[in-house]
């Protein structure tokens, strides 16, 4: 029987398809199959806030401007229920929730949604407890896998809100980084969010103090300035902002040089 050669594309052979599939598996980054992601915890003793991040660059940078890196808090899965992060531009606070309705409701109240930051196991795992302090304006929520920390804070007045999400396991605490400036003159150097208005140039280091600018604005602001609410901002040091010609905001009154 004579085989008539077809015009156009020939049907790919099974061996060719198999080779492509194997090549695709080899080219996929290993992290896609790792299934685990470390969540690191930092603490700002001037604002009282705990920050949680999976970004190692962010974790290593913040201690250079006064935060204390507390190491690996827990290990989250790379797949599961998304946990969202929000930012309050008025208080400088962050919040974390896997409740989509809570995430959307807080945005309606002025919080900025920052999208999913890590995941929660759908079934079982190590509980990550959530606590709320009604007397604080920043650092109002704390998340911890430690039942001892959860119980001890409950005794001194924190409201215990149960398990917020579930991790693969509690963190090892490895990677702790001390703050680089343990004795600052201002109450919150580096964050640009809580120092008292009118802070002078002698009270902060302009090479480490962080301020915020908008895409088309001509002034630099504290992190919590109402003038930047709902706007995309970019952070830079006070020294950089002044060198680029930005002037201090008249509303939030950040430090000047």
Q: Which helix (H) or strand (E) holds 41?
A: strand 36-44
pLDDT in tens, the chain (257 residues): 444 444 444 454 444 434 433 333 333 333 333 489 999 999 988 888 899 999 888 898 888 888 899 999 999 999 999 999 999 888 888 999 999 999 999 999 999 998 999 999 988 899 999 999 988 888 899 999 999 999 999 999 999 999 999 999 999 999 999 887 544 333 333 333 333 333 333 456 787 677 788 888 899 987 656 677 667 777 778 888 999 999 998 877 888 88
Cβ atoms of 236 and 192 closer than 8 Å: no
Per-residue pLDDT tens digits for 110-120? 999 989 999 99
Residue 82 to residue 210: CA distance in whole angstroms? 30
- Mapped onto helix, strand or coil, the DSSP state of residue 213 is strand
Sequence-distant (≥ 6) Cβ neighbours of residue 225 within 8 angstroms: 89, 212, 249, 251, 252, 254
Cβ atoms of 160 and 154 closer than 8 Å: yes
Q: Which residues of 69-98 are buried (b: 16+ CB within 10 A; e: fewer)?
A: bbbbbbbbbeebebbbbbbbbebbbbbbbb
Cβ atoms of 134 and 180 closer than 8 Å: no
- Mapped onto helix, strand or coil, the DSSP state of residue 119 is strand
């Amino acid at each position: 029987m004579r085989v008539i050669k077809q015009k156009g594309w020939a049907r790919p052979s099974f061996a060719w398809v198999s080779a492509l599939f194997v090549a695709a598996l080899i080219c996929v980054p290993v992290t896609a199959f790792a299934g685990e992601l470390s969540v690191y915890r930092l603490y700002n003793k001037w604002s009282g806030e705990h920050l949680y991040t999976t970004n190692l660059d962010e974790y290593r940078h913040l201690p250079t401007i006064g935060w204390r890196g507390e190491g690996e808090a827990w290990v989250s899965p790379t797949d599961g229920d998304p946990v969202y992060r929000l930012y309050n531009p008025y208080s400088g606070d962050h919040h974390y929730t896997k409740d989509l309705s809570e995430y959307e409701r807080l945005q309606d109240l002025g919080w900025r949604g920052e999208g999913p930051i890590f995941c929660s196991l759908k079934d079982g795992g190590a509980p990550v407890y959530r606590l709320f302090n009604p007397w604080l304006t920043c650092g109002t929520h704390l998340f911890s896998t430690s039942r001892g920390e959860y119980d001890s804070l409950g005794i001194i007045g924190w409201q215990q809100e149960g398990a917020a999400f579930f991790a693969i396991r509690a963190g090892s605490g490895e990677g702790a980084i001390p703050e680089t400036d343990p004795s600052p003159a201002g109450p919150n150097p580096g964050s640009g969010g809580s120092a008292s208005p009118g802070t002078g140039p002698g009270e902060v280091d302009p090479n480490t103090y962080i301020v915020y600018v908008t895409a088309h604005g001509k002034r630099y602001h504290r992190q919590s300035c109402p003038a930047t609410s709902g706007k995309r901002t970019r952070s830079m040091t006070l020294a950089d902002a002044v060198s680029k010609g930005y002037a201090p905001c008249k509303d939030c009154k950040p430090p000047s040089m």
